[in-house]
Structure 1
């Protein structure tokens, strides 16, 4: 998995790169500003090795707020671009997703959660920590909108399958399934996976 990390804090870049490479399966490049990120993205695309995910620091040189994020998305050729920041003012996650980004990562996330989120977004999914997401609709609401993948995972929940079984059946990693289950529970207003399955049956979602 080819990842680009753009952040003006050298220590954070090095720590995150070391952690990802120690996990195995990651090739990580790092730059210190947006111009460097755009240059690396262009070079990778020209070489036929576009990044599987680009992670941009919100406050690094060249970003100019969300303008930098939008520029990177425009230059990504359709590849996922995500934003990370040490601060999460109200409404920022929604704005990030509204720009077409793959997600938002607070720098306060535990390292294991960062790795899982990176895998999740590189697989084409969108990620925002649940505590920063808008509250989901109440149980029984028809407003819950599930993606095609979330419906597949929900079908597994309705069949009483464990995360490992669902992951095997869908050809995904178990941490990815866990993230989907959390998102499904939030969208359905469910307390847990069992409650989500109950709501899904009541709403004829599975």
Structure 2
């Protein structure tokens, strides 16, 4: 089985090669950038599997994936990356990548993934694809409930209590109570000052 690994980090290439070279029946070729990978695909291809680093020179993200699929005559091409997000992984898979491999993948999983993709299956580690991305919460929003943030947004937009109530499906008296609580939590004298504090803090 012929495998091509293209990555501009020598240590990464050597590490993946070391993992795979112990496996019987695998023949490994390497390249340091997309142009080198393209040259190998033209000269020695198609490969049973091509692994491309998402950020290496000449790759241009998913453009490189599309070009490599053509150069490898439709045989499996996968993306490897140490920095790409889950969104990028999903886009790569939707664009026909044979898989997405984070560089943190353990050796055993890497070998399994390579054989899986070379057999024509699509691979992505379940944990990477399902873990929730941490969302940073604005320090000001941490002091408030979700509903208070909604009401504060209305104040920033210059809406009257009645308009905020209509937009949020609340009673006007409830909005008034939220405004009162907001002013207390934000140490604002009135609704206008509360809106100014939110604006100045960059909450909206």
> What's the TM-score once normalised by structure 1's chain length?
0.61
Query: Secondary structure of the residue that 2:28 maps to in structure 1?
Result: strand
Structure 2 counterparts to residues 13-162 of structure 1, below 5 A = 13-45=13-45, 50-133=46-129
- Structure 1 residue 66, shift from structure 2 partner: 1.2
Match of 1:10 in 2: 10
| Maintained 8 Å contact 1:5/1:13 | yes
- Structure 1 residue 41, shift from structure 2 partner: 0.5
Match of 1:142 in 2: none
Alpha-carbon separation, structure 2, partners of 1:89 and 1:116 = 22
Alpha-carbon separation, structure 2, partners of 1:108 and 1:12 = 10
Query: Secondary structure of the residue that 1:133 maps to in structure 2?
Result: helix
Alpha-carbon separation, structure 1, partners of 2:130 and 2:73 = 29
- Structure 1 residue 134, shift from structure 2 partner: 5.3
Query: Secondary structure of the residue that 2:108 maps to in structure 1?
Result: helix
> What's the TM-score once normalised by structure 2's chain length?
0.61
Match of 1:161 in 2: none
| Maintained 8 Å contact 2:86/2:129 | no
Query: Secondary structure of the residue that 1:114 maps to in structure 2?
Result: helix
1:92-140 CA-to-partner distances (Å, cap 9, x unmatched) read 12101111110100001101100100000000000011023359xxxxx
Alpha-carbon separation, structure 1, partners of 2:126 and 2:25 = 26
| Maintained 8 Å contact 2:98/2:117 | yes
| Maintained 8 Å contact 2:33/2:58 | yes
1:133-176 CA-to-partner distances (Å, cap 9, x unmatched) read 359xxxxxxxxxxxxxxxxxxxxxxxxxxxxxxxxxxxxxxxxx
Query: Secondary structure of the residue that 1:91 maps to in structure 2?
Result: helix
Runs (5+) with no aligned partner, structure 1? 136-206
Summarize the Cα distance change of 1:42–1:108 in structure 2 as closer, same or farther, 3 Å threshold: same
Match of 2:138 in 1: none
Alpha-carbon separation, structure 2, partners of 1:109 and 1:11 = 15
| Maintained 8 Å contact 1:7/1:56 | yes
RMSD: 1.4
- Structure 1 residue 25, shift from structure 2 partner: 1.6
Structure 2 counterparts to residues 163-178 of structure 1, below 5 A = none
